Amino acid sequence: MRLVSVNPAFPSVEAIADQALDLVASGGLAELTLRPLATRLGVSVPVISSRMGSKEQLIERVTEHAHARDVAFHARWLARQRDLGPMDAAARAALVELALRDWVEAERRQLILLIELVHDYALRPDRSSALERWLEEAGRFWSRLLFDDPDLADFAMGYALDEAGFSLSAGDNPLYVLLRVLGLQRLTRGMFPGDETATDTASALIAMLDPPAPPSVEESDPKRQRIADRAADLIVSSGIERVTHRSVALAAGMPASTVVYHFGARASLVAAGLHTVIARFSARQRDARSGEDGAWKAEPSAQDLLKATSMIALAAVREPSLASYALDMRRRRGENVRPGDLPKLGLGVGAGFDRLAGQVFSVAVFGMGMIGLACKRPRDEHYQGAFARFEAWRLRSVA
């Protein structure tokens, strides 16, 4: 717990917000309520409500406080970028890697809040103006660092948000860190392979991150499949934290003891639901590619996949038993992307297409997808506008 200077009778807004960030970092957004916050500060609930208002107002003010901290973080790194002067693609990738590490480590609490808010509003019908202002400003920052151009904010923020989520749970795993570094190098060079592809190294890393015994994507036992289906439904409708033996049993219409018997620990139950979401998407994608409109027909299952595989990374921060599943989802980024999917989105394929290009594209797309769901942006406009700006930058910058 972070120690702050608090007036026991009347804590400042800053002191309250600081403690709120600790609550969210340790237990999630659901833990951010007035009573536990008052307990941590040693004051009564009315004292907190008089300063912060209702729970919704509390979240809004904490969001604004965290955004202000993030702005200070951005200013430090933009100053470093200015001091260094013009940089080539390799230097920009190195700078972003250092900034991303700093975001994940030193600024961990506000990053967790940002991801929590995106996930929460992706499941809700309403919007948050404070969250949207934060995402817009942060997008311009990451766009400047990645591309030396603030106009690619949507693409850059999508990439940074998704990668940061996995960085929180993967930590310093050397295989993951090297894969992240290769992805950043490729992204600043225009995504597609050129003279230096790193294809073999990336493929080797992806293979090395393959879990020794991946869960089956289809259950042979009908009862197990019904449990996995209900777990999948809960993940995409309510979030991973809502998946418990009891909640799945209730949804499946069976005793909780039956769920425990078939899946054991909660991590295995979550993994079964997660892989069921993936199996649904893969089936829909195969059907879509055989139709006239290509992969765009897979939207409902694609949104489920966005939510499930993005949420697992943050869940693994608090539940180490989920860490291997989160890392597997990061390893699998891009495995469903094909070169033929890109032209319909307004992207060329440059000198070719490989698994690393697929990963870079997929990380950005998954992050943009979650932001689009949270901010209620029209899907086609959100994606295609970002892709068009990236393609224009790529053609202008990568000769």
Number of domains in the chain: 1
Q: What is the mean pLDDT of the chain?
A: 88
Q: Is residue 17 part of a domain?
A: yes
Which tokens belong to 298?
């897979």
Q: What is the pTM of this model?
A: 0.89
Phi and psi at 29, nearest 5°, equal -65, -30
Task: Identify whether the C-beta of residue 237 lies closer than 8 Å to the C-beta of residue 123.
Answer: yes
Q: In the chain, which ranges are continuous DSSP H helix?
A: 13-27, 34-41, 45-52, 55-84, 89-105, 108-122, 129-147, 153-170, 174-188, 199-208, 222-238, 245-252, 256-263, 266-289, 299-318, 323-331, 355-375, 379-397
> Which tens digit of pLDDT belongs to each residue from 158-195?
999 999 999 999 989 999 999 999 999 999 999 988 76
- The CATH code of the domain that includes 33 is 1.10.10.60
Q: Is residue 234 part of a domain?
A: no
pLDDT of amino acid 213: 58
> Which tens digit of pLDDT belongs to each residue from 97-152?
999 999 999 999 999 999 999 999 999 999 999 999 999 999 999 999 999 999 99
In the predicted model, what is the mean pLDDT of residues 63-90?
A: 96
Q: Is residue 21 part of a domain?
A: yes
145: which residues sit within 8 A by CB, 6+ positions away?
Answer: 77, 78, 81, 92, 95, 96, 99, 156
Q: Is residue 116 part of a domain?
A: no
Q: Is residue 276 part of a domain?
A: no
- Domain containing 4: what range? 1-65
Q: Is residue 267 part of a domain?
A: no
In the predicted model, what is the mean pLDDT of residues 360-386?
A: 91
- Token pair 């991801």 is found at 115
Q: Is residue 57 part of a domain?
A: yes
> Which tens digit of pLDDT belongs to each residue from 11-41?
888 999 999 999 999 988 888 888 989 999 9
Q: Is residue 171 part of a domain?
A: no
Integer CA distances (angstroms), 183 to 4, 77, 127, 146, in order: 39, 20, 32, 12
